[in-house]
Amino acid sequence: MAKGPEIPKTDSAEIEILIERLKHNKLEQRDVELIERLLRTVLVLVNLLQRKNMSIKRVHSARRLDNVECRESFR
Question: Is the pLDDT score of 29 beyond 90?
Answer: yes
pLDDT tens digits, 34-71: 999 888 888 888 888 888 877 777 776 777 766 555 55
Pick the more confident residue, 13 or 73: 13
Helix axes 29-73, 12-23, angle to 10 degrees: 120
Question: Is the pLDDT score of 16 beyond 80?
Answer: yes
Tell me, what's the pLDDT at 50? 83
Q: How far is residue 19's CA from residue 21's CA, in Å, rounded to a whole number?
A: 5
